[in-house]
Amino acid sequence: AGSYQNILADKAGEKKNVGLITLNRPKALNALCDALILELADAVQSMDKDETLGAIVITGSEKAFAAGADIKEMLNQTYSANIRSGLLERWSDIGKCKKPIIAAVNGYALGGGCELAMMCDIIYAGDKAKFGQPEIIIGTIPGAGGTQRIARSCGKSKAMEMCLSGDQITAQDAEKMGLVSKVFPADQLVAEAVKLGERISRHSPLIVQLCKESVNVAFETTLQEGLRFERKTFYATFATEDRKEGMAAFTEKRKPNFKNN
Ligand code: CAA
């Protein structure tokens, strides 16, 4: 797919096994207008179906990952129109992806930009990245998961502080509070995210999918239910060829040859 207006979709890594989506609306600091979100959802969906890809990286520019939902597009929106059109509904399509998605965040990840990063499975940040939920400053609140996902991954005090103050936080603080898993020099960020995608792509795609699903259950349910789900899924891996191959390869001191089966 190369016909997008607001994003670039590419394959990266030595074996071209990592999908690379670059948000590309530089004049608006990658503000996430409807057209961009529709293209992003389409690109993610087609990469999810592409069997040559084991993981997906979403990035922006060095100045901005994304400066939020498009404020100019929302300016004259009404309550009833939001209900009719399902404002922000299509954003959740990104969360339906079965493959791991890594957000590589340089520059601003504000409002919907921060929320988009949190919809991804792993966040890597450049050392100059800035995260924030500034919706409160413009008279609204986060609408794409900000109040919920910060609370779940970083706790109440951090979620309240970010959402109520609208303050931006640095990449280093975001790492300290667990929002971000690693920080890199800005110019190495995308390469490092692609390398992580390549390491994930070495594993059985089938098992990677089950593993992602299992971690996600931790955000949906009680510990007992989550542990039960994990155990059943662990047992289920024993019904796959790839589990046999992985353990056989270890025992025979060779590299596994996974068949996604
Ligand atoms: N929507 C629409 N346009 C935006 C935008 C946004 N979220 N963020 C930036 N832009 C546009 C600016 O309007 C400007 O366009 P013009 O040149 O046509 O005026 C262009 O991008 C460059 O922006 P600035 O001149 O403001 O750049 P700066 O370097 O001075 O400031 C910034 C950068 C601090 C990120 C500032 O642009 C800013 O505060 N942006 C808005 C951040 C924000 O409030 N985001 C939350 C949006 S609401 C939301 O996301 C709801 C939700 O939960 C889904």
At 116-174, the pLDDT tens digits run 999 999 999 999 999 999 999 999 999 999 999 999 999 999 999 999 999 999 999 99
Q: Spell out the long-range contacts of 159-163 with Cβ–Cβ below 8 A and sequence spacing 24 or more.
A: 162/131, 162/132, 162/133, 163/133, 163/135, 163/136
Note the pLDDT of residue 123.
98
Q: Confirm whether pTM is higher than 0.90.
A: yes
Could you tell me the two tokens for 228? 């039960």
208 Cα–ligand 1 center, Å: 36
32 pocket-lining for ligand 1 (C-beta < 6 Å): no
- Residue 2's pLDDT band, with cuts at 50, 70 and 90, is low
Could you tell me the two tokens for 88? 């922000």
Q: Are 60 and 105 in contact (CB under 8 A)?
A: yes
What is the tens place of the pLDDT at every residue in 38-91?
Answer: 999 999 999 999 999 999 999 999 999 999 999 999 999 999 999 999 999 999
135 pocket-lining for ligand 1 (C-beta < 6 Å): yes
Note the pLDDT of residue 216.
97
Complex ipTM more than 0.90, yes or no: yes
| 177 alpha carbon, distance to own chain's centre | 17
Give the E-state strand segments of the chain in sequence order: 7-12, 18-23, 55-59, 64-66, 101-105, 108-110, 122-126, 130-132, 168-170, 182-184
Which residue out of 6, 29, 72 has the highest number of ligand 1 atoms within 8 Å of its CB and is therefore the one to mutate? 29
Please give the average per-residue pLDDT across 182-194, as a whole number: 98
Note the pLDDT of residue 3.
86
Please give the average per-residue pLDDT across 8-28, as a whole number: 98
Residue 199: other Cβ atoms inside 10 A: 13
| 189 alpha carbon, distance to own chain's centre | 15
The residues annotated with a catalytic role in the active site are: 69, 112, 115, 135
Residue 10 pLDDT > 60: yes
What is the tens place of the pLDDT at every residue in 200-210?
Answer: 999 999 999 99
193 pocket-lining for ligand 1 (C-beta < 6 Å): no
Tokens 């899924």 locate to: 233
